[in-house]
């Protein structure tokens, strides 16, 4: 289903956060107002204004320090909890195999954010939309790499053909294991039936702040089983109501405009 994916090779990540600011720049996301809370990582949470960021985790490894840095954001899961949770089908898999949100269909229920194992979906209260990484759908559809990958100076964010990227990830893990990182692994190949953001980790996922066993919550599956068949009806209803409202608004607008014009003519 997927043709192109992205590899996050944490063993090459220097935490420079070029990806984080490139994402904000390309997607024109405003800066959040933050404070220093005791660590380099900032903003503290993913939000409608922060779709990707570098997560920093310090660890004491038998007296020696480890500092795990990794770019995190939407994983674009195959078995995506958010897609199953969405009551309107607004959040869906694209023809590229990535997960994106159709803002027209989004009703702002926030079920997707609650279901996500990675806690990467933000909610825009003013617009009443869920927002998250689009995998730079606009860029990759036009032959460009995602903004984060373009900005990475060290080659830690590789974008390319799925098979080639998986092969590179496997060879990198082999290299790391042979060079003293016995716990090096690929993350995102089997998890949630595969993710479009594939990771090479040097250590256990929890050291990076990633869930060890990401999965679709059972509640989401039950909800989806019951609600799924109704979805088409709901979508039709929502679409009808939007259409009806649009027509009504247009009639009102036209009426107002006519009145104003008329008023002007009278004077």
Partner 1 sequence: MTNHWIDYQHSDVIMAIGGNTAENHPVSMKWIERARETKGAKLICVDPRFTRTAAVSDLHVPLRPGTNTAYLGGLIRYILDHGLYHEDYVRHYTNASFLIQDDFDFDAVSGLFSGVEDDPTRSAKKYDRSSWQYRSDEQGNAGTDLSMQSPNCVLQLLRKHYADYTVDAISEITGCDRDVLEESYRLFASTGIPGKAGNILYAMGITQFTHGAQNVRAIGIVQALLGNMGIAGGGVNAQRGQSNVQGATDMAMLYHIIPGYMSTPQQAAHPSLSDYLQRETPAAGWWTNRPKYFISLLKAFYGEHAVESNEFGYQWLPKLDGKDHSHIAMYKSMAEGEMEGLICWADNPAVSGPTAGSKRQYTANLKWLVSIDLFENETASFWKEQGKNPEEIDTEVFILPAAASYEREGNKANSGRWIQWQWKAQDAPGDCRSDLWIVNALFKRLQALYAGEGGIVPEPIVNMAWQYDDSSGQIDIEKVCSEINGYRIDGSGLVKNFLELKDDGSTVCGNWLYSGYYNDLSHPPCKRRQRETEGIGSHLQWAYAWPLNRRIVYNRCSADPSGKPWNPDVPQVWWDQQARDWKGYDVPDFNTGLTPVSSARTPFIMLPEGKARLFSAFLNDGPLPVHYEPADSPTANRLYPAATFNPISQRFYENHVVETEQDREKYPYVLTTYRVVEHYQTGTITRNMPWLNEMMPELFVEIDEELAAELGIANGSRVTVTSKRLENQAGVEAKACVTKRLRPMMVNGRKTHVVGMPFHWGFIGMNKGAVVNDLTPSVGDPNTTIPEFKASLCNIRRCDE
Q: Distance (Å, rounded) from C-alpha 178 to C-alpha 127? A: 50
- Closest distance to partner 1 from the beta carbon of 41 (Å): 9
In the complex with partner 1, which residue's Cβ is closer, 31 or 244? Answer: 31
In the complex with partner 1, which residue's Cβ is closer, 76 or 131? Answer: 131
Does 40 interact with partner 1 (rule: CB under 8 A)? yes
Chosen residue from 34, 141, 245, 259 binding partner 1 by CB under 8 A: 34
- Closest distance to partner 1 from the beta carbon of 19 (Å): 12
Chosen residue from 15, 146, 188, 205 binding partner 1 by CB under 8 A: 15
Stretch that binds partner 1, among 62-70, 74-82, 204-212, 228-236 (CB under 8 A): 62-70
**Residues 94-113 contacting partner 1, CB under 8 A:** none
- Closest distance to partner 1 from the beta carbon of 67 (Å): 4
Chosen residue from 1, 3, 39, 167 binding partner 1 by CB under 8 A: 39
Does 72 interact with partner 1 (rule: CB under 8 A)? no
In the complex with partner 1, which residue's Cβ is closer, 58 or 261? Answer: 58
**Residues 178-197 contacting partner 1, CB under 8 A:** 179
Q: Distance (Å, rounded) from C-alpha 187 to C-alpha 181? A: 15
**Residues 134-153 contacting partner 1, CB under 8 A:** 153
Three-class SS of the chain? CCCEEEEEEHHHCCCCCHHHHHHHHHCCCCCCCCCCCCCCCCCCCCECCECEEEEEEEEEECCEEEEEEEEEECCCECCCHHHHHCCCCCEEECCCCCEEECCCCCCCCCHHHHHCCCCCCEEECCCCEEECCCCCHHHHCCCCCCHHHHHCCCCCEEEEEHHHHHHHHHHHHHHHHHCCCCCCEEECCCHHHCECEEEEECCCHHHHCCCCCCCCCHHHHHHHHHHHHHHHHHHHHHHHHHHHHHHHHHHHHHHHHHHHHHHHHHC
Chosen residue from 5, 6, 7, 69 binding partner 1 by CB under 8 A: 69
Chain residues binding partner 1 by CB under 8 A are: 11-18, 20-21, 24-25, 30-40, 42-43, 58-60, 64-69, 153-155, 175, 179
């Amino acid at each position: 289903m997927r043709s192109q994916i992205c590899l996050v090779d944490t063993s090459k990540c220097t935490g420079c956060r070029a990806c984080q600011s490139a994402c904000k720049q390309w997607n024109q996301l405003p800066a959040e107002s933050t404070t220093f809370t005791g660590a380099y990582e900032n903003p503290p949470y993913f939000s409608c204004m922060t779709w990707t960021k570098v997560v920093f985790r310090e660890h004491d490894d038998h007296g020696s320090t480890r500092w795990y840095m990794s770019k995190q954001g939407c994983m674009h899961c195959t078995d995506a909890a958010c897609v199953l949770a969405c009551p309107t089908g607004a959040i869906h898999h694209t023809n590229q195999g990535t997960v994106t949100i159709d803002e027209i269909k989004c009703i702002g229920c926030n079920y997707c954010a609650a279901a996500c194992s990675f806690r990467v979906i933000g909610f825009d209260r003013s617009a009443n939309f869920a927002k998250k990484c689009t995998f730079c759908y606009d860029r990759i559809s036009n032959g460009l790499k995602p903004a984060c990958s373009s900005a990475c100076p060290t080659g830690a964010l590789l974008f390319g053909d799925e098979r080639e990227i998986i092969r590179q990830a496997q060879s990198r893990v082999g290299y790391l294991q042979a060079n003293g990182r016995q716990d090096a692994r690929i993350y995102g190949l089997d998890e949630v039936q595969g993710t479009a953001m594939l990771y090479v980790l040097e250590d256990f996922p929890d050291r990076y702040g990633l869930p060890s066993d990401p999965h679709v919550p059972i509640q989401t599956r039950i909800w989806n089983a019951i609600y799924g068949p109704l979805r088409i009806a709901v979508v039709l209803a929502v679409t009808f109501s939007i259409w009806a409202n649009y027509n009504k608004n247009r009639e009102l607008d036209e009426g107002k405009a006519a009145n104003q014009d008329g008023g002007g003519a009278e004077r």
